[in-house]
Amino acid sequence: MSGGARRVTLRIEGKVQGVFFRESARGEASRLGLTGWVRNRSDGAVEAVAEGVPAVLEEFIRWCQRGPQQARVTDVARTDGEATGEFSQFIVERTS
């Protein structure tokens, strides 16, 4: 992946499971042209890895701070890194 792409790993906490968060995040990331994945964690949080240009990643992070209408996000922890280009699309992973 070129053009200054970056990777961000997010841990989203709050009421984020059972509120269509993963599928909504997949739709938003795909709309923005990001690649990566999102999944539920066994501790009740949602985890996401996204790759793309920094400005678009920031837009996705802002969306994750709100989530879909039924979600109540209390915290979004982020870790920034280098993009690997390993993803071809943005998917929902069904395992945690």
**Between 42 and 95, the higher pLDDT residue:** 42
Residue 81: both structure tokens together: 């890194």
Class of domain 6-82: alpha beta
Annotated catalytic residue: which of 7, 11, 31, 40? Answer: 40
54-91 pLDDT per residue, tens = 999 999 999 999 999 999 999 999 999 999 999 999 99
- Domain ranges in the chain? 6-82
72 is annotated as an active-site residue: no
Annotated catalytic residue: which of 7, 22, 39, 66? Answer: 22
19-34 pLDDT per residue, tens = 999 999 999 999 999 9
Query: Does 2 score more than 50 pLDDT?
Result: no
The tokens 């996204």 sit on which residue?
50
| Start-end of H helices in the chain | 21-32, 54-66
Look up the pTM and report it. 0.94
